[in-house]
Each structure stands twice: as structure tokens, then as C-alpha cells.
């Protein structure tokens, strides 16, 4: 949500704040907005980790969860202060183009618009990039080591605080990119956006298997389908019922998620 | 000056005083062993040296540095590597990645000779580089834990029960390995249940009992000592 506000503010400053259905897309402005949102969200995340999670590193598990809820309240209120309580329009800057009808000449109900392509073109490289960083780089290996066994990571000489900071930076940067995609796709934003998105992201991650990037992607996909089907067949008010019933069902029957492996398989 | 000087450390788990004033000296090039029965505080001693536990009292000096004031990840950089009790390998990462993490602090880029050394010592590890470390057999995991510690090319190697869970032939191999790496100039502080083997390769030893050092001598003398023979070598 704060990411979409960062995009919105950047675009407004650049003079594209109120655009509705442009004919020429200002790619440079979108690029700047993307950069601004990535930096803003990345640094915000690092700051949140520093003040709300790091002091609780040795506390019982519930403590960081509670402070996470606190951080979320603070973010929501910053958003309320920043853009007010009513939903805001997000400029519609992408070309209005439907590949199905205009390119393939198929006049069906199914549409594949430029917006869809844009989201895919941004999300897929980012996801592959993330997976690559985690799999191959020194930092990525340190991240996985810290996730598995923090104490042993220290004894490998890994600066655990730095690695965790970096992980939060990475998460924030990706959230920043997601917020531009969300804004341009849905053309609106509201100060409670992140709360719902956060719950859904969490559900997707649990569904796919915590700690598994491809699992999270698969979880997001399944979740999206389920939510769309629920809205279509039962109506919008049932969306969250569908989504969170799924979460409960997974937690009960397969807490490790679709692709997850049992944690703690230390022999 | 000693390579490592542990001076009167008291380490607690909550209110339980696990170490009640331990003093240990390790000289450059030595193999020093800590023996003692279950719960004597051997593991606690190594963990305190490695910096994962902090003593309430006492100092641990390596050269001019007080390790009790050094973060554990910096202690590795000072040249102390720890192969901990229970192996603690990164089970969900590959064998190769475990070795890479062992070399995490190494700034010199050429690790070829270090990998070669580990592969020569443990050919089994070389055959399984791509395998998930958690799927290794217990003995293989132990080899990996030792190999991982060696990858840091430490000046002082802390080994906590390296023979645990290994078949007798492998125990032999591990102890021979310890001697070999010691001959290459690495100092070793060795904790062992297998007091007989430990004393046969060590220069000196300390006997721990409920958090205190009750005896220290050359390994040869300890192996002859009546009390040691009865309590730790299972002779009567
Ligand atoms: N995490 C812990 N919390 C509380 N007490 C502990 C903890 N770890 C060890 N202790 C206690 O500290 C004492 C020393 O334990 P330590 O593990 O150092 O023994 P040890 O000599 O390594 O034994 P072993 O030969 O069985 O490995 C024991 O009494 C043990 O119960
Ligand atoms: Mg022990």
C-alpha cells in the first residue's frame, strides 16, 4: 500500500498523476516510479526489521508476530495520513490493447491485455532473479543457512544481522515492484490495501510451502484462481471466506504446504 | 604465549552453573583433549570458546583478543572453527554448499587445495557433492561437519565428539585425520567420549567433572592415571 502511494506520489510529481487512458505510455516515468517504490519499500522494510524484529531475535516466537501486527498498524496509519481515507485513483498509463481481439482477431470473452503482459513481463524476471540470487550467490547461500540454523551460521562466520537486513531489503524491493504492478493493473489504491495483500501473500506462501520460492509462486497462482472462482460463482463477499478456508484447510491437513518439505529434518 | 588461554570461566544455562571456573591453555601446534563423563561440561566449554555461549566470569584470550567480547562470527575470522556436537550440518543444502559455507570467511579466492584436502580425507564426500546434506548417513554427516570446519582453514580447530556414530574403521580414520591435519600445523582442541583414542593422539589432556577441571597432565600420564583408567577408560 505504501508502495503504491510512493508510485502515486512519484507519478504525480512527474505530472502523470491524473492520467486516464493515455495513448503514449511514459515509460521513463514508470521506470522512475518503479525505482522509487523499490527503494522506498526496501528501506522501509530494513527500518522495520531494525526497530521491530531485531530486538526480539531471542524472544519467544509470538513476540515478533505481535510486533509485526504493530508495524502493520503503523504503516496503515502512515498511509491514512499520506493519502487520506478514501480510495485513490491510480493513473492508467499502460496502452489499452487486447491481444486476443486486436492481435489474434478472436472476439471472445477471454482477454489478454497489455496490462496482463506487463505484469507477467515484470513478475517473471523478478521471480527468476530472486530464485537465482537465493540459489547461487554467496548472500543467497548465507540467507538459506541463517534460515535453517542461525547459531551454526554465526559459527560459519556469517554476519547474521547483515544477512537478515539484506533479506528484508530484498523483500521490500520486490514489494515495491509489486505495488507498481498492482497500481497500474487495478488503477486504484487505498490505505488498507497492504493488509489484505499481506494476508493473501502469507496464505500463498503457506499454501506453497514456507521457505520455498517456487512454492510461493504456485501458491499465489492457485490462490488467485480460487479467489476468482469464488467471486464469479458465489459473489465478491465470499472471496475472503474462500481464501481463508483454504488457509485453514492447509494448516490442518498439510501444514508443510504443496511443495514444502518437513522442516527440522536435521539428522 | 599460548595460542588460546581460557581463564576461570563460569558459564550458566539460566540459573544452572554448567562451568564452575574452567582454566585451559592450548599451545600452538598441540592436540589437547577434554575428557569427562556425560554432562561434565565439555560441550559447554567449546561453545563458550566459540562464542555461542557467554561466560558470566572469566576471560578467553586468543593472542591479544578477548573472545568473550567478540561476536561469534568474528571469532571464526580470528581462526577458530568449530565442528559441533551433533554435527549441525545444513541439512537442506547440498554437501558442496555446506563446504562453501565452511569457507565463508575465506577472503583468499583459491580454495582448490582446501577442497582437495577434504576430498582426500573423505572420498565419500566427494562422491556426494550434489546430494542434500540431510540425506547423508550419520557417519557421512560427521565427515561433512569436520570437512566444513576444515574449509575455514582455522589455526585452532574445536572438535566435539568427532567419532560419535561412526563405525570403528571410520573412528580410526577420523583420528588419523586429526593427526594428519595437526601435522600440517593446525592446533586441535578435542572433546571425546572415546577417551582411549583421544589420549592416544593428544599431547595433553584435561579431565572435567561437573563443571570443574579435576586433573590435567600429559596425555601419556593421564592414560596411566588410576582414576582416569577406572572412570574413563573402563578398566578396573
Ligand atoms: N541448553 C541447556 N540448558 C540447560 N542446561 C544445559 C543445556 N545444555 C547443557 N546443559 C547442562 O549443562 C551441563 C553440561 O553439559 P554439556 O553438554 O557441556 O556436557 P558434556 O560434557 O558435553 O556431556 P556429553 O558428554 O554428554 O556431551 C549438563 O548438566 C547439562 O544438563
Ligand atoms: Mg557434549
User: Tens digit of pLDDT for each residue in A198-219?
Assistant: 788 888 888 888 777 778 888 8
Report residue A266's pLDDT band, with 50, 70 and 90 as the boundaries. Answer: very low
CA A141 to chain B, closest CA, distance in angstroms equals 8
pLDDT at A267: 32
The residue whose C-alpha atom lies closest to atom 9 belonging to ligand 1 is B44
**What global pTM score does this model have?**
0.86
The residue whose C-alpha atom lies closest to atom 18 belonging to ligand 1 is B41
Q: B13 CA to middle of ligand 1, Å?
A: 9
Q: Which ligand is nearest to the CA of B210?
A: 1
Query: B22: Cβ below 6 Å to ligand 1?
Result: no
Strand partners, B188: B31, B157
DSSP H or E segment with residue A215: helix A213-234
Beta-carbon separation of B90 and A149 below 8 A: yes
Write the ipTM. Answer: 0.90
pLDDT at B236: 59
Report residue A265's pLDDT band, with 50, 70 and 90 as the boundaries. Answer: very low
| pLDDT (mean) for B12-26 | 95
List Cβ neighbours of A55 (8 Å cut-off, separation of 6 or more).
Answer: none
Beta-carbon separation of A144 and B72 below 8 A: no
Structural domains of chain B in order of their starting residue, each with its CATH number: 4-89+154-232 (3.40.50.300)
Q: B235 CA to middle of ligand 2, Å?
A: 22
Range in A94-103, A125-134, B49-58, B220-229 the model is least confident about: A94-103
Q: Which residues in chain B belong to E strands, given as ranges?
A: 4-13, 16-26, 31-35, 57-62, 65-66, 80-83, 156-160, 187-191, 204-209, 212-218
pLDDT single digits (tens) A73-85: 999 999 999 988 9
List Cβ neighbours of B224 (8 Å cut-off, separation of 6 or more).
Answer: none
pLDDT single digits (tens) A234-261: 988 898 888 888 888 888 888 888 776 6
Q: Which residues in chain A belong to E strands, given as ranges?
A: 88-89, 188-189
Beta-carbon separation of B90 and A148 below 8 A: yes
Q: Are B44 and B19 in contact (CB under 8 A)?
A: yes
Count of beta carbons in the 10 Å neighbourhood of residue A213? 18
Beta-carbon separation of B105 and A157 below 8 A: yes
Amino acid at each position: 500500500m505504501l508502495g503504491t502511494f510512493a508510485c502515486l506520489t512519484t507519478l504525480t510529481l512527474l505530472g502523470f498523476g491524473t492520467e486516464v487512458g493515455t495513448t503514449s505510455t511514459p515509460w521513463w516515468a514508470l521506470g522512475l516510479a518503479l525505482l522509487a517504490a523499490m527503494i522506498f519499500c526496501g528501506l522501509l522494510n530494513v527500518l522495520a526489521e531494525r526497530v521491530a524484529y531485531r530486538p526480539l531475535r531471542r524472544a519467544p516466537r509470538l513476540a515478533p508476530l505481535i510486533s509485526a501486527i504493530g508495524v502493520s498498524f503503523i504503516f496503515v496509519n502512515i498511509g491514512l495520513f499520506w493519502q487520506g481515507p478514501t480510495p485513490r485513483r491510480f493513473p492508467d498509463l499502460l496502452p489499452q490493447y487486447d491481444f486476443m481481439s486486436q492481435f489474434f482477431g478472436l472476439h471472445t470473452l477471454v482477454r489478454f491485455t497489455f496490462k496482463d503482459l506487463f505484469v507477467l513481463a515484470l513478475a517473471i524476471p523478478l521471480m527468476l532473479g530472486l530464485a537465482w540470487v537465493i540459489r547461487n550467490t554467496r548472500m543467497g547461500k548465507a540467507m538459506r543457512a541463517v534460515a535453517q540454523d542461525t547459531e551454526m551460521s554465526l559459527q560459519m562466520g556469517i554476519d547474521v544481522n547483515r544477512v537478515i537486513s539484506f533479506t528484508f531489503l530484498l523483500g521490500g524491493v520486490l514489494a515495491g515492484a509489486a505495488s507498481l504492478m498492482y497500481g497500474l493493473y487495478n488503477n486504484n489504491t487505498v490505505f488498507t490495501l497492504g493488509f489484505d495483500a499481506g494476508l493473501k501473500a502469507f496464505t500463498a506462501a503457506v499454501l506453497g510451502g514456507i521457505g520455498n520460492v517456487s512454492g510461493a509462486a504456485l501458491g499465489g497462482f492457485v490462490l488467485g484462481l480460487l479467489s476468482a472462482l469464488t467471486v464469479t460463482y458465489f459473489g465478491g463477499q465470499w472471496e475472503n471466506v474462500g481464501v481463508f478456508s483454504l488457509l485453514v484447510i492447509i494448516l490442518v491437513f498439510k501444514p508443510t504446504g504443496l511443495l514444502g518439505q518437513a522442516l527440522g529434518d536435521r539428522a | 604465549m599460548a595460542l588460546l588461554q581460557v581463564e576461570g570461566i563460569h558459564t550458566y544455562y539460566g540459573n544452572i552453573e554448567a562451568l564452575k571456573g574452567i582454566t585451559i591453555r592450548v599451545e600452538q601446534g598441540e592436540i589437547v583433549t577434554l575428557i569427562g563423563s556425560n554432562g561434565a561440561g565439555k560441550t559447554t566449554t567449546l561453545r563458550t570458546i566459540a562464542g555461542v555461549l557467554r561466560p558470566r566470569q572469566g576471560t578467553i584470550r586468543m593472542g591479544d583478543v578477548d573472545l568473550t567480547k567478540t561476536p561469534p562470527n568474528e571469532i571464526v575470522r580470528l581462526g577458530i572453527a568449530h565442528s559441533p556436537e551433533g554435527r549441525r550440518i545444513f541439512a537442506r543444502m547440498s554437501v558442496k554448499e555446506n563446504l562453501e559455507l565452511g569457507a565463508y570467511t575465506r577472503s583468499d579466492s583459491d580454495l582448490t587445495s582446501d577442497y582437495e584436502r577434504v576430498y582426500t580425507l573423505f572420498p565419500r564426500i566427494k562422491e556426494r557433492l550434489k546430494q542434500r546434506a540431510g540425506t547423508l548417513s550419520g557417519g557421512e554427516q560427521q565427515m561433512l561437519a569436520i570437512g566444513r570446519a576444515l574449509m575455514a582453514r582455522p589455526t585452532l580447530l574445536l572438535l566435539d565428539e568427532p567419532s560419535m556414530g561412526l563405525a570403528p574403521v571410520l573412528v580410526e580414520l577420523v583420528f588419523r585425520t586429526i593427526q594428519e591435519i595437526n601435522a600440517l600445523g593446525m592446533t586441535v582442541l578435542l572433546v571425546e567420549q572415546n577417551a582411549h583414542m583421544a589420549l592416544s593422539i593428544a599431547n595433553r589432556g584435561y579431565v572435567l567433572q561437573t563443571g570443574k577441571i579435576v586433573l590435567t597432565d600429559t596425555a601419556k600420564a593421564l592414560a596411566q592415571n588410576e582414576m582416569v583408567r577406572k572412570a574413563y577408560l573402563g578398566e578396573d
